Amino acid sequence: MFESMIFVLMFIVLLGIFSQWLAWRLRMPAIVVMSIAGLLVGPIFGFVNPQESLGEIFSPLISLAVAIILFEGSLSLDFREVRSFNKPLTRIVTLGAFIAWIAGSLAAHYIAGLSVAVSFVIGGLFIVTGPTVILPLLRQAKLKPRPAAILKWEGIVVDPFGALLAVFAFEFIKFINGNVTLTSFLLFFAGSIFAAFLGWLFGWIIGKMFEKGQIPEYLKAPVVFAIVLMVFVFSDVVMHETGLLAVTAMGLTMANMHIASINDMRHFKENISILLVSSIFIMLTASLNPTTLVDIFNPHIILFVLAMLFVVRPLSIWLSTIGTDLMNNEKLLISWIAPRGIVALTVSGYFASILQESGYKDAEMLTALTFALVFATVIFHGFSIGWVAKKLKLSATEKPGVLIVGGNAFTAELAKSLLDEQMDVLVVDDSWEQLRYARKLGVPIYSGDILSEQTEYSLDLTPFPKMIAATEVDAYNALICSNFVIELGRDHLYQTAASQTKEDDYHPSLGGKTLFDSTANIYELTERVLRGHVIRKTNITEQYNYEQYINGREEEVVLLYVIRADGSLKFYTTKSELQANPGDLVVSLTPPTKLQDKINDKISQSKE
């Protein structure tokens, strides 16, 4: 319908981001919404066909986008993250991938009816999961750290090797048939080694330039962006399908150089990655031929997909992890979650054409076979990952846990009040002495700098969706909040009021939301606790409503937070006027007066 190339590009990007937003609003897997959106505007209603509109630049655009996505994913692969479970991970990405290749190839031959040659090519490709599908699922599901890390590492590390394995199988078939010499076959291995070396070399060079300050901050992300594209293209020109290996090696190298400014660059690439994933999924699904869509329902294809889901994947995980310390519930989750995505779609299209040119007519089935596996895994795994994780007790807690930075008398009392309500809470401070208040009350603590690199890898922040910065240094509080904006979102970051008297000294807009009221800085709050002020909890009922509570409270009372009847937690801030309904619990810092005790007695009587 729309023939303008620039309009099609605009429409794809807009639809992709809208799909991401809609998935967030509906709490659905983003990749599922994007796939459905692409099918609706493409083969079903025929609004756009990106492959026809973009012509020759369609495939290069997707290839470059996949390279950037894979590099961004590999940039998060720090070896320190997997020290405690490197054995099961190593087994999964080596022995597990090999078992998946053999078993998947046999399924393609005996169930889907493909020839042995085509089966072993496509079997190698189908070992991939990839960051384009697994990372959005992990972002949505909020798994516990170990299974999440294993799925992330497997998806990123195996992704380039799946494409290489398909190339290897194809070259091996040609070698067996006498179509290529042993020298040509060995060149494949040389090309793969060259790609890995090229990625390592440029990753190391860029990393060293960053460390020595030879690239200004504003140019770091653009420089890396350009180098990634260059490494991918150059490697792919030398040996087809080795570009993904090169960019993965580059990202892995930079991630483990522990460059101080790597986080800022990673945040930029995360934003780019989300944009690219959204756009590519729309492009691929919208370009699907209606005939291929019908072919997906071929009984042989359906049986093959079921075999991949319920036989091949579980077999590869359970066999490869024998003798490791993975728990059975972790094995069950990992053996179920293996969504295929963009790499499988793009590379299978390439092999479908060259295999047909080589005389394998059954290769025309590859496109429908791949789309069927991609759609099935995206939908089944996308909708089930959260439910399965909960059933297996591998999802992060849903309770509104709070991490409090700053050890003092007030934060200790605040943490104890949250802990008493069965919430996850942790007090962090780099001074062991400052944590004495929390230790005395039996509150969980962590001694270390929340912004240090060591803390990032030794402290699991998953149970704490909310963070309070309550140290005695206002600028440090703002820095903490700014540092965790990407991970937690500004709405879940709080800091105590500024203690400075001059407006020019401090800019609260740079940090999180200001807690309680503008006069309740950490010095004032701590002093009140040391003078005997206590944290009191008031139940709001039909007989004693919120308005009565507000009108009856003393002037010195500081309103802290409200726990809703549904268990959600809301903090009072300088810019929010909370209301409490019957069934809610209002928590405040209160002078220990007889009047307040009488009010609490009345509340207890009304509940009875």
Which residue in the block uniquely carries the two structure tokens 């990007």? 13
**Residue 250 belongs to a domain:** yes
Average pLDDT over residues 460-475: 82
Q: Which domain holds residue 555?
A: 402-607
**Residue 397 belongs to a domain:** no
Domain count, the chain: 2
**Residue 127 belongs to a domain:** yes
Tell me if 112 sits within 8 A of 85, measured CB to CB. no
For residue 114, is it left (φ>0), alpha (ψ between -120 and 50) or beta?
beta
Q: What is the pLDDT of residues 483-504, one digit of tens each?
A: 787 677 778 888 888 875 444 4
The Cα 467–Cα 485 span in angstroms is 10
Residue 3, pLDDT score: 65
Between the alpha carbon of residue 238 and those of residues 175, 235, 309, 332, 344, the distances in Å are: 20, 5, 35, 40, 21
Phi, psi of 599 (to 5 degrees): -60, -45
Residue 268, pLDDT score: 60
Q: Determine if the pTM surpasses 0.85.
A: no
Q: Are residues 385 and 415 in the same domain?
A: no
User: Which of 238-242, 320-324, 581-585 is predicted least confidently?
Assistant: 238-242
Average model confidence (pLDDT) for the chain?
81
Average pLDDT over residues 518-530: 86
Average pLDDT over residues 321-342: 87
Q: What number of H helices and E strands is found in the chain?
A: 27, 10
Confidence of residue 304 (pLDDT cuts 50, 70, 90): very high
User: Which of 87-101, 379-393, 428-442, 487-501 is predicted least confidently?
Assistant: 487-501
Neighbours of 54 (CB within 10 A): 19
Q: Are residues 306 and 412 in the same domain?
A: no
| Helix, strand, or coil (residue 75) | coil
Task: Give the domain-ending residue among 356, 391, 426.
Answer: 391
Q: Are residues 554 and 514 in the same domain?
A: yes
The Cα 2–Cα 506 span in angstroms is 52
Q: Are residues 325 and 407 in the same domain?
A: no
Token readout for 65 is 């986008």
CATH of the domain at 312: 1.20.1530.20
Confidence of residue 227 (pLDDT cuts 50, 70, 90): very high
Average pLDDT over residues 287-292: 80
Task: Give the domain-ending residue among 359, 391, 423.
Answer: 391
Q: Are residues 248 and 382 in the same domain?
A: yes
Q: Are residues 172 and 120 in the same domain?
A: yes
**Residue 484 belongs to a domain:** yes
Q: Tell which wins on pLDDT, 322 or 353.
A: 322
The DSSP symbol for 521 reads B
Residues ≥6 apart with Cβ < 8 Å to 583: 540, 541, 564, 565
Token readout for 309 is 């889901």
Residue 595, pLDDT score: 47
Q: Are residues 439 and 324 in the same domain?
A: no
Q: Are residues 148 and 225 in the same domain?
A: yes
Q: What is the pLDDT of residues 251-289, one digit of tens each?
A: 888 888 877 666 656 556 666 777 887 888 788 788 877
Of 358, 376, 354, which is closest to residue 306 (Cα–Cα)?
Answer: 376
Q: What is the pLDDT of residues 359-406, one digit of tens each?
A: 788 888 888 888 888 888 888 888 888 888 888 888 765 567 889 898
Q: Are residues 428 and 407 in the same domain?
A: yes
Task: Give the domain-ending residue among 391, 414, 440.
Answer: 391
**Residue 208 belongs to a domain:** yes
**Residue 396 belongs to a domain:** no
Token readout for 164 is 């290489």
Which residue in the block uniquely carries the two structure tokens 């709001």? 540
Measured between its terminal Cα atoms, the distance across the chain in Å is 69
Residue 594 has pLDDT above 50, yes or no: no
Q: Are residues 379 and 406 in the same domain?
A: no
Q: Are residues 428 and 576 in the same domain?
A: yes
Residue 269, pLDDT score: 61
Which amino acid is located at 118 in the chain?
V
Token readout for 599 is 């009010």
CATH of the domain at 591: 3.40.50.720
Kind and range of the H or E run holding 513 = strand 513-514
**Residue 278 belongs to a domain:** yes
Average pLDDT over residues 182-199: 82
**Residue 348 belongs to a domain:** yes
User: Which of 116-120, 234-238, 591-595 is predicted least confidently?
Assistant: 591-595
Q: Are residues 350 and 431 in the same domain?
A: no
